[in-house]
Amino acid sequence: MELTKYDHACVRVEKNGKVLVIDPGTFSTGPVLDGADAVLITHEHFDHVDVDKLKAASPALEIYTCEGVAAGLADVPAKVQVVRHGDAWEAAGFRVRAFGEWHAKNHPDVPVVQNIGFLVDDEIFYPGDALTVPDAEVPTLLVPTGGPWLKLGDMVTYLRTIRPARAFSTHDGLYNEIGLGLVDNWLKGEAEELKADVRRLAVGESVTIS
């Protein structure tokens, strides 16, 4: 599989000519849905789902998401399917399992929304805006490294709990260059601690995962 990092919280996974896109939100620029066969959406926040992008996408696209997101996609021509914690299915040749139910707690006046994480091909786990620990081995973790709901200590504890062989930064679009430098230093420290490949991919950078 080839994993490509896009702006903020969006990634593309490609295998055998098929393309799976996770969380193409409004912060994600460029043709993130070009050639996509399926889309996974963790939750309803705009930095993770862009309804206009989905409206303009191919009607043949398959979208898998939680009820909260699906309710806002009535005008999207693609097929939208609701999935929940514990579900397993195949999307464009990828095996997918859903873990988790809720977004991490944020501002006290902001309701907690639904959030599901996705384990792709028993290899890549994308938790969305949560620190869900799935009941499964996670070889590759897409670890959130920034956001109003996240503390550094929580991110470090999450990495050390999951203990993946590889972890790549996601949810990092709110940082300027100074902040991204801090993220790089934090992840370098965890790479040494875990003796694993833990780092931030630049936007547009790809990595092959076997």
Percentage helix, strand, coil for the chain under 3-state DSSP, each rounded to 5: 20, 30, 55
Q: Where are the alpha helices (DSSP H) in the chain?
A: 51-55, 67-70, 152-162, 177-194
Q: Which residues pair with 15 in a beta bridge?
A: 18
Residue 30: predicted pLDDT: 87
Cα(110)–Cα(7) distance, rounded to whole angstroms?
25
Q: Are strands 62-65 and 79-82 parallel, antiparallel or unpaired?
A: parallel
The token duo for 209 is: 């995962």
Give residue 178's pLDDT: 98
Ranges under pLDDT 70 in the chain = none
Looking at residue 210, its pLDDT comes to: 77
Burial of 28 (0-12, 13-18, 19+ CB in 10 A): buried
Quote the CA–CA distance of 6 and 84 in Å, as a whole number.
25
Which one-letter DSSP state was computed for residue 87?
-
State the number of CA atoms in the 13 A half-sphere of 117 facing the CB: 26
Q: What are phi and psi of 4, to 5 degrees?
A: -120, 130
List the structure tokens of 107.
């501002």
Matching residue, tokens 């801090």: 182
